[in-house]
Amino acid sequence: MDDIIGTWTIVVLTKRMHCVLMCGGKGTRLKKTLGLEVEKPLIKLRNKPLIEYVINTLIWSNKFKGIFAAVSVNTPKTREFIKSNYGDKVTLIETMGREYSEDYLKIIKYFKETGNEKKHGIKKILFLPADTPLISLDTLAQLIAINQEKPCLTIVLEKGFVKSMGILTSAYELVIDNKNYCYSGISIMDIKKIDMGMGNSTEGIALIDEEYKTLNRVEIACNANTLEDLKTAEKFLDKKCDWRYL
């Protein structure tokens, strides 16, 4: 009974968290691998676009006040796909699509400067890559429940864990206590702790204080950057065991 009560408590307390899907990048690595001029969020896994898996899971979770998708000139077809299929459930945000950090800053300013923070009581925003088709309801609940002290909480994975899954490690790595980690692309921004008095320069994003949380989960590690990554995702979709806890 205690577990059930705890679960419902999380849903009620976190309903004002928003989620932003990052789907405006160029997807260069995957395009080189596949030799296709297809937008990364629309690459199909089991005949379904990657982004469709993610959006459906976010909607089913019923844990977010609002769901947004950050698109750019790099992803016009993704923009149209979202408008046509999720127009009443997902709000589009236009970004430049040049640098990840620049898009982050654009989105943070969107929420801070349009009055959304005050009007809707927004406290936190979950940033989620569009190329994580295996993301589960359980992991979303865990992400929401994490306590953070600093304005930005970044989810990382141990590099050894990622490699053991046969997944291409992230191009962006870091070292913590002499141990190698990979960025997952997932982060949580505590909007009320962010001071926008940083000017218009994208360098301002570096001023946001950051902390790290390690979550070694296959579904987080398995972002589609190569053909092999897609095959790995298919393998885990086919598994009958509960791969979310591997």
Q: Which two tokens stand for residue 1?
A: 């009974």
Q: State the pTM of this model.
A: 0.83
Which CATH superfamily groups domain 2-155+184-203? Spore Coat Polysaccharide Biosynthesis Protein SpsA; Chain A (3.90.550.10)
Confidence at residue 82, expressed as pLDDT on a 0 to 100 scale: 97
pLDDT tens for each residue of the chain, 246 residues long: 333 333 333 334 445 689 999 998 876 666 565 556 788 899 888 889 999 999 999 999 999 989 999 999 999 999 999 999 998 999 999 988 887 778 888 888 888 776 665 665 667 899 999 989 999 999 999 999 998 999 999 999 999 998 887 776 666 788 988 999 999 999 999 988 887 664 444 444 446 889 999 999 988 988 777 777 788 888 887 764 444 434
Confidence at residue 45, expressed as pLDDT on a 0 to 100 scale: 87
Locate tokens 């890559």: which residue?
129
Could you tell me the residue ranges of all domains in the chain? 2-155+184-203
Q: Which two tokens stand for residue 101?
A: 């950090």
For CA atoms 121, 86, 59, 49, the dihedral sign is negative
Confidence at residue 7, expressed as pLDDT on a 0 to 100 scale: 39
Q: Which two tokens stand for residue 162?
A: 């990622």
CA 88 – CA 141 distance, rounded (Å) = 23
